[in-house]
Structure 1
Amino acid sequence: MTDFERLKADALNIFKAGVAAADPHDAVIHALREHESAYANARRVHIIAAGKAAVPMMRAALDSLAGDKIGQTLAVTNYENLVEVAGTKVIGASHPLPDENGANAARAVEQIANDAEHGDLVLCLISGGASALLPAPVAGVSLDEKIKTNDLLLKSGADIVAMNTVRKALSRLKGGGLARAIAPANGLALILSDVPGDDLATIASGPTVPDPAPLDQALAIVTALGISERLPASVMSHLKARGEEQPPPFEPTTRNQLIGSNRISLQATEVAARELGYEVIILAEWLEGDVEVAAKAFHERASNVNWTGKIAILAGGETSVHVTGSGKGGRNQEMALRFAALCKERPLATAWAFLSGGTDGRDGPTDAAGGLTTPETIRTLMAKSLSVGDYLANNDAYHALQLADALVMTGATGTNVADLQVLLLG
């Protein structure tokens, strides 16, 4: 095994340790043990699971709770994670752009919440991706118009907080809408985080958490992003009218609890790296912003390390890409390719391997979790007379990494706590 192969294997094992730490089944099992009294005192228990981890979270709930009190149940997840679960209906929907299946699922979720009566408990199992998987457009806005809005937001370079603020403004369920529907029944939301700071109002656009943002903030965001003139007229009309309203009174009956996060997974990568003999440097506990800037931050840190042995520079978070090309890829693939290109321009003093991957196993609209590059990546592309710059300019990192055998292919992981980066120097 060459040095590069060993570093690549270590990087992949460290990344997988971070993914394993976000196991949604175990997280739900542990959390439900803390809430035995809520279940015992409930007349009936209805279960709603939504997000990329909906299936294992629903399985954990059904495994943990006695069936004699179980009422209505429903799980909604992305197509890649769609599998049958005994005892409940599972609906597959599109992510990151919503579709009609998601709209139908949102209506079914609303119905379960509205049917819940005083004395019932509605258990909500929320994970990343639920925002796009449960599109419930406000009156006057069609699903196609909301899809167009989401598409413009994704390509604008907006971060997850800004995107979810706009999504909440256009939804019946987001921004506490689901909690409104649950009342007067009691609710318990167990939440896996994929956002910075683990803000419960931002995760999955906060279906069970009142939106703290001013009503006019969504309008300010689309204006600042420069996309207001391209948004559907119905969307702009709603955002403008919403900014002039007063927040409605809201006394939620739902409790919210964080049960997994990117920070927990980052800590797991640190443990795994140390076990493999690496000295660990945490570049950022939440890495955000443009992928080009993030790749430069990794390169700069690696260029200024005092070499004492094997080094692991780690980060977690969620970056963004301002899409201008027509290629295929995602933020993690582009970051991995950009880092390799930087190292070609300004080589590091030692062998290296860099992995950037999504914990859900799906980076953007692709079947890859991310990219894993070494100095050999650029050499392979150059040997085929391919221009890395052209691929990056077209936002086509997927095909470049595919040709260099540098894609990370894990398949759907059943969880989602944003992204992890692993840079190994040895």
Structure 2
Amino acid sequence: MLDLYASAVAAVSAEKCLPAFLPAPPPKGRTLVIGAGKGAAAMAQVVEQHWPGALSGMVVTRYGHGADCRRIEVVEAAHPVPDEAGRDAAGRMMQLVQGLTEDDLVLCLISGGGSALLALPGEGITLEQKQAINKALLKSGAAIGEMNCVRKHLSAIKGGRLALACAPARVVTLLISDVPGDEPGVIASGPTLTDPTTCAEALAVLDKYAIIVPDSVRQHLQSGAGETPKPGDPRFARNTHHVIATAQHALEAAAATARAAGIPAYILSDGIEGEARDIGLMHAALARQVALRGQPFARPCVIISGGETTVTVRGTGRGGRNAEFLLSLAVALDGVADIHAIACDTDGIDGSEDNAGALLQPDSLARAGAFGLRAKKLLENNDGYGFFDALGDLVVSGPTRTNVNDFRAILVL
């Protein structure tokens, strides 16, 4: 199971995926590298290793996700809730791209996490207000597309505004996707891409999840002051973008590893969304059907899936959506023999904890009972981390410096 996860992560590393997408250096002018995300530093390092000419620039990544770069500055900031370091870095980046010419090339390196890491509030909005809204969205169970819709319209850098600041230089954006569907403009809230969503849609998301915002924020959205550049905007005509790594790439690599070990592998989906505990129930039903009836797959087999689940936080435990998924899976399977599972975030961090995810074994519930742990009660308290930590079954990989979101594999022997 750990080999499957390692294969998935390796397949979407910057070292493997980025070099083939590097553009040619500009005939005249300079090359400036900018970027943000959990994979931004590793991406910048690969650019330095493969770029044939002069370059400079700055990228922002999460604390602990840096890399050794000599010509591109690496700044670290907070994720998933933005901090002053992210705000200051975003401001510096907007200054860095000023004064470029049409002969210049801007290479923008974007990966998941960039929304929180590039935290430049729109006019009249404070960082503290953005932090509070971000925290509320994270706890609400909102999907990533909904969260990023709000983030774009409260920002002075997201939703294409960074590309506008680069004009008239040509902008080439390379993206590692962490969103179901791999829509480029949703990844890190699309700082260099046009945005079809509106301020009205952002307000609708806030109202849907009953998130209370200051009057200044609501006025910012109602007035249209937070509107973003839309598809077809001529100022983006020279710009291009490429999604260089996706969850599907990771799942296919894991499936190949399983098949090489003699275990048939089936990819369920690369874009599963929804409450982590509900997705756990669905996967448990499928695993039971395989184990007990040999449908829709014969055993032994590995069932693989990806995407981004969410957790509506109601308890006070230490969570992480992958730990929550696995704990829900454990409760639903109730010790069915010969079923093993792994669920990890490909960035190496499950939510805001120090683990990538965890492992589930057929005897996990029995071992937990020996410690006096009640799995259902821990699930109600959003304490998946506590459950698997007590069993010694957390997966701790450290930052992987890439990010295509959740990876899940269920092995039925």
TM-score category of the 2 structures, normalised to the smaller one:
over 0.9
CA distance in 2, matches of 1:246, 1:62: 32
TM-aligned CA deviation for residue 25 of structure 1: 2.3
After superposition, what is the alpha-carbon deviation per residue over 1:287-333, rounded to whole angstroms, capped at 9, x for unaligned?
A: 11011210111111112124444110110101000001121121001
What letter matches 1:20 in structure 2? Answer: A
Q: Which runs of 5+ in 1 are unaligned?
A: 1-10
Structure 2 distance, partners of 1:232, 1:394, is: 30
**SS in structure 1 opposite 2:310?**
coil
**Aligned counterparts of 2:253 and 2:243: Cα–Cα separation in 1:** 17
- 8 A contact 1:295–1:336 mirrored in 2: yes
Q: 2:11: which partner in 1?
A: 21
Alignment of 1:28-177 (within 5 A): 28-32=18-22, 35-36=23-24, 39-67=25-53, 69-70=54-55, 72-177=56-161
* Structure 2 CA distance for aligned equivalents of residues 246 and 123 of structure 1: 21
Structure 2 match to 1:370: 357
Distance 2:209 2:323 in 1: 24
Kindly provide the amino acid, as one letter, of the partner of residue 308 in structure 2: E
SS in 2 for 1:184: coil
Q: Contact conserved, 1:149 with 1:232, CA < 8 A, in 2?
A: no
User: Could you give the per-residue CA deviations for residues 180-222 of structure 1, whole angstroms, max 9, x where no partner exists?
Assistant: 1111111111111111111011011011111111331101111
How many Å separate the matches in 2 of 1:19 and 1:172? 32
Q: 1:299 to 1:83 in 2, by over 3 A?
A: same
- RMSD across aligned positions (CA): 1.7
Post-superposition offset of 1:12:
1.1
1:257 to 229, 239, 242: 242
| SS in structure 1 at match of 2:265 | strand
Q: Is the 8 A contact 1:17 1:272 kept in 2?
A: yes
Question: Contact 1:367–1:411 at 8 Å: present in 2 too?
Answer: yes
Alpha-carbon distance between aligned partners in 2 of 1:358 and 1:55, rounded to the nearest angstrom? 18
Separation in 2, partners of 1:232, 1:369: 35
Determine helix, strand or coil for the equivalent of 1:101.
Answer: helix
- CA shift, 1:172, in A, is 1.2
Equivalent residue number for residue 281 of structure 1: 266
Q: For residue 223 of structure 2, give the secondary structure of its aligned residue in structure 1.
A: helix
Per-residue Cα deviation, 1:18-74 (whole angstroms, up to 9, x for no partner): 111001123221111xx22xx14241000113111111111111112234x32x411
**1:338 partner SS:** helix
Q: Which residue of 2 aligns with 1:294?
A: 279
TM-superposed deviation, 1:244? 9.9
2:174 is aligned with 1:190: yes
Check the 8 A contact 1:219/1:243 in 2, yes or no.
Answer: no
Return the alpha-carbon distance in structure 1 between the equivalents of residues 226 and 2 of structure 2.
50
Q: 2:339 matched to 1:352?
A: yes
Deviation digits for residues 379-415 of structure 1, max 9, x if unmatched? 1211111221221111111111100112111110010
Q: 1:245 to 1:265 in 2, by over 3 A?
A: closer
Of 386, 402, 411 in structure 2, the residue corresponding to residue 415 of structure 1 is 402
Counterparts of 1:88 and 1:312, CA distance in 2: 41
Change in CA separation of 1:161 and 1:301 when aligned onto 2, cut-off 3 Å: same
2:351 aligned partner, one-letter code = G
TM-score normalized with structure 1 length: 0.91
Contact 1:82/1:90 (<8 A) preserved: yes
Q: Is the 8 A contact 2:78 2:116 kept in 1?
A: yes
Question: Percent identity over the alignment?
Answer: 37
Unaligned runs of 5+ in 2: none
Contact 1:283–1:298 (Cα < 8 Å) also in 2:
no
User: Aligned letter for 1:343?
Assistant: L
Distance in 2 (alpha carbons) for counterparts of 1:357 and 1:411: 12
CA distance in 2, matches of 1:202, 1:263: 17
The one-letter code matched in structure 1 to 2:278 is V
Matched residues in 1 for 2:146 and 2:87: separation? Answer: 22
Structure 2 length normalisation: TM-score? 0.94
Instruction: Measure the CA separation in 1 of the matches of 2:87 and 2:169.
Output: 24
Aligned residues: 405
Cα distance between partner residues in 2 of 1:255 and 1:179? 11
Counterparts of 2:328 and 2:34, CA distance in 1? 40
